[in-house]
Structure 1
Amino acid sequence: MSGIPHHPDTLQPLVEDRVEVAYDDRRIRFTLAYYQVNELRGVTSVSLEELRALA
């Protein structure tokens, strides 16, 4: 996710600009989200035409 992490005690921003924070990062609980970053790994893209041909 991309956003601005805040200090858990003071709730003050830790940075001035957005940073990417992983879901397993402990800072995520105190991050004001700007947008979510999605990344697919180990997949193969196919077109609808290819899927229809397999049906």
Structure 2
Amino acid sequence: MRQYYYVGGMPAVVKDYCQNQSLKSVRDIQNQILSDYKKDFSKHVPKDILPKVNIV
């Protein structure tokens, strides 16, 4: 159950974990996904509320 909480349910992360069993690799992919989301938000959210969205 602990591994599920850490790995989560994102398909790319689960696939990588199944193939490599590497929690470091999992964390790298999760961080990249979060970074990509932040970049995407900046395209669609008004600049005055962007800092609040990034906090969430």
TM-score (norm. length: structure 2): 0.24
Q: State the structure with bigger RCO (CA 8 A, min sep 6), 1 or 2.
A: 1
Q: Which has the higher helix share?
A: 2
Q: Which has the higher strand share?
A: 1
TM-score (norm. length: structure 1): 0.24
